[in-house]
Amino acid sequence: MKPDDRRQAIMDVLMEAGTASVEELSFRFGVSKMTVHRDLDDLEQAGLLRKVHGGASIQSSPQFESDFRYREKIATSEKRRLGEYAATLVEPGQSVIIDDSSTAGAIAGFLKDIRPLTVITNNLGVITDLSGVPGMNLIALGGHYSKRFNGFFGVVTEEALRSLRADVAFLSSSAVEGTAAFHQDQEVVQIKRQMVKSANRKYLLVDHGKFGRSALHFLMGLEAFDAVLTGSEVSDGHARELGDAGVGLLRIDNQKIMEKA
Amino acid sequence: MKPDDRRQAIMDVLMEAGTASVEELSFRFGVSKMTVHRDLDDLEQAGLLRKVHGGASIQSSPQFESDFRYREKIATSEKRRLGEYAATLVEPGQSVIIDDSSTAGAIAGFLKDIRPLTVITNNLGVITDLSGVPGMNLIALGGHYSKRFNGFFGVVTEEALRSLRADVAFLSSSAVEGTAAFHQDQEVVQIKRQMVKSANRKYLLVDHGKFGRSALHFLMGLEAFDAVLTGSEVSDGHARELGDAGVGLLRIDNQKIMEKA
DNA sequence: TTGAAATATCACATATAGATGTTATCTTTT
DNA sequence: AAAAGATAACATCTATATGTGATATTTCAA
């Protein structure tokens, strides 16, 4: 295991647990405490965690939470799982919309083998990821770049979307309360709404942590989506609530779908 | 000097001279012939050159020439020079269009200090380069991605451009013959033309090697540009030809402008 | 507040992977 | 076949990563 891999792994541990001791990390990765200290210093330098006496804890200010570098890491395993499953909903030859979220972005990696394929996105991560994949028709949505979301937004984006039509769209939102999705940014909301309009089938991908939270702007009701994909970790209460409202919910297990409500 | 730097440097030499001997490279970089061999093997593996007995020569099939990985490397110093000068034509607060070319792309690095600034581009290299620069309002033009040009093209791109207006545009073309610019790709031509329409001042940046060559599609007459920027290496004959036709030509020296025709 | 225990840091020693050079041997060119 | 060049195998060198033990700092309880 190389240093960089170990550091990534440390972040993964932190993302899960929120906090970890030097002792524990040292044992877990089979390296000295000194090495763990050096890793933590490095990661702290990069602004990814905060060292505390005895270990480290994850940065978690509100400002930090909405930073995409943070968001792209949290719940990585759940996101990968959702992404992997979502990719099975796509057939070769289709066109797919992917929004600016890191959750939807996780699909990109799994789409590389489904060719030919058209991918439409305003997500810079996805663009970088898929540019140069042979057999991949990559359509970028322009717009002004937002560092916070690592994507493109605005009238230009919206107009470009209006002239396009896709088979499937994969979106995410930062919060799900009751049977509606919410997002903290008006501009992002605009684009997501247009994406839904421009696609035949629509799926909302949200990790279980998003349930029961709210955000400033109403995005849309969940009934707008063909299905909501989330991790099996989601509480039965939330699952039932959606089921009662007639919203299709797919709880994705590590191996397969758990339940089709 | 690190291995990767040396390999890059070897490519630079090759780009200039077209061919180089192992002996020569070994001496020039102060390493053994064995090391040069290893470098060349590596670069050959990456498809960037062809080994021949005694040295290496550059890959130079027509297909390869129009590959952006190749284009982004040739005449680097001249391009940097043009880019650096071009940046002086931009004032803080303005909006700037940069096209898909690597020549125009070279401006990006020099624009980072001119803030605030709006940059409009379909060049993925520039987007990657400028995303995250604070004080920079980066507007990407969408469109379908072309690996060959590492940029975005098509109706979407064109439409986005139509709704935008910039103070300055920096373009390049693959050939200049007489007093007209040419390009090998129809789709690219479309976008460049719209860029010119969407900008107040327009500059064409071309390294001296582009003069006297031609390409499939007529792009536009040079009189459409406020000035043509090129290296001082350009022949007097070509310079005179432009001057006679009333086209503004700026020959950029290593230190300053040589001549203002 | 103070001192013992826990933890962190520092400076140096060691280990390791990658890069390079050398020489001998094989291959190509003429 | 001789000369030039390429390759292979091994030795050496170097930067980076890691570990160790000494020293400093922090924590917490008395």
Q: Which residue does chain B place closest to A159, by CA atoms?
A: B160
**Residue closest to C10, CA→C1'?**
A34
* B255 and chain A in contact, CB less than 8 A: no
Which H, E and C letters describe B213-246, residue by residue?
A: CCCCEEEEEHHHCCEEEEECCCCHHHHHHHHHCC
Mutate to test the interface with A, among B68, B117, B144, B164 (most CBs of A within 10 A): B144
Q: Please state, as a whole number, how many other Cβ atoms lie within 10 Å of the Cβ of residue A109.
A: 15
Contact B240, B216 (CB under 8 A): no
pLDDT for position A118: 93
Q: Do A138 and B159 touch (CB under 8 A)?
A: no
Contact A132, A113 (CB under 8 A): no
What is the distance in angstroms measured between the alpha-carbon CA of A211 and the sugar C1' of D19? Answer: 46
Measured in angstroms, the CA of A140 and the nearest CA of chain B are apart by 5
Contact A151, A174 (CB under 8 A): no
Give the nearest partner residue to A138 out of B127, B141, B145, using CB atoms.
B145
* A195 and chain B in contact, CB less than 8 A: no
**Residue closest to D27, CA→C1'?**
A53
pLDDT for position A14: 83
What is the distance in angstroms measured between the alpha-carbon CA of A147 and the sugar C1' of C10? Answer: 39
Q: Vertex A241, ends A240 and A244: CA angle to 5°?
A: 80
Residue A260 has phi, psi (to 5 degrees) of -120, 100
Domain range summary for chain B, segments of one domain joined by +? 3-59, 75-260
Query: pLDDT tens-digit profile of A230-255?
Result: 988 899 999 999 999 999 999 997 65
Q: Do A144 and B138 touch (CB under 8 A)?
A: yes
Is A221 in a helix, a strand, or coil? strand
pLDDT for position A61: 53
Query: pLDDT tens-digit profile of A134-144?
Result: 778 999 999 99
* B69 and chain A in contact, CB less than 8 A: no
The per-residue pLDDT of chain A, averaged, comes to 87
What is the distance in angstroms measured between the alpha-carbon CA of A61 and the sugar C1' of D23? Answer: 35
Chain B hits for A145, CB-CB cut-off 8 Å, are: 127, 130-131, 137-140
Measured in angstroms, the CA of A124 and the nearest CA of chain B are apart by 8
Specify which residues A201 forms β-bridges with. A168
Q: What is the CA radius of gyration of chain B?
A: 19
Measured in angstroms, the CA of B171 and the nearest CA of chain A are apart by 19
Measured in angstroms, the CA of B28 and the nearest CA of chain A are apart by 34
Query: Which nucleotide has the shortest C1'-to-CA distance from A33?
Result: D19
What is the distance in angstroms measured between the alpha-carbon CA of A54 and the sugar C1' of D27? Answer: 10
Chain A hits for B159, CB-CB cut-off 8 Å, are: 159-160, 163
Compute the average pLDDT of residues A5-11.
83
List the end-to-end C-alpha distance of chain A, in Å, as a whole number. Answer: 41
Q: Please state which of the four CATH numbers 1.10.10.10, 3.40.190.170, 1.10.3210.10, 3.90.470.10 is assigned to the domain occupying B3-59.
A: 1.10.10.10
Query: pLDDT tens-digit profile of A123-178?
Result: 999 999 898 777 789 999 999 999 889 999 999 999 999 999 999 999 999 999 99
* A155 and chain B in contact, CB less than 8 A: yes
A150 Ramachandran zone, left/alpha/beta (phi>0; psi -120 to 50): left
pLDDT for position A228: 96
Cα B180 to Cα B172: distance, rounded to the nearest angstrom = 12
**Residue closest to D18, CA→C1'?**
A35
Q: Do B163 and A156 touch (CB under 8 A)?
A: yes
What is the distance in angstroms measured between the alpha-carbon CA of A53 and the sugar C1' of D30? Answer: 22
pLDDT for position A261: 37
Residues of chain B with pLDDT under 70: 16, 59-75, 254-261
* Confidence tier at A79 by pLDDT (50, 70, 90): confident
Cα B22 to Cα B35: distance, rounded to the nearest angstrom = 10
* B95 and chain A in contact, CB less than 8 A: no
**Displacement of CA A155 from its chain's centroid (Å):** 24
Q: Do A163 and B156 touch (CB under 8 A)?
A: yes
* B166 and chain A in contact, CB less than 8 A: no
Question: To 10 degrees, what angle do helices B3-17 and B33-45 make?
Answer: 80
Query: Which nucleotide has the shortest C1'-to-CA distance from B53?
Result: D5
pLDDT for position A255: 52
Contact A107, A98 (CB under 8 A): yes
**Is pLDDT above 70 for A100?**
yes
Q: Please state which of the four CATH numbers 3.40.50.10470, 3.20.20.70, 3.60.15.10, 3.40.50.300 is assigned to the domain occupying A75-260.
A: 3.40.50.10470
Which H, E and C letters describe B106-144, residue by residue?
A: CCHHHHCCCCCEEEEECEHHHHHHHCCCCCEEEEECCEE
Is the four-CA dihedral B222, B223, B224, B227 of positive or negative sign?
A: positive
Specify which residues B117 forms β-bridges with. B136
**Displacement of CA A190 from its chain's centroid (Å):** 18
- C-alpha separations of A260 from A186, A220, A246, A249 in Å: 32, 22, 12, 6
State pTM to two decimals.
0.71
Chain A hits for B132, CB-CB cut-off 8 Å, are: 147
Give the nearest partner residue to B128 out of A128, A143, A155, using CB atoms.
A128
pLDDT for position B14: 83
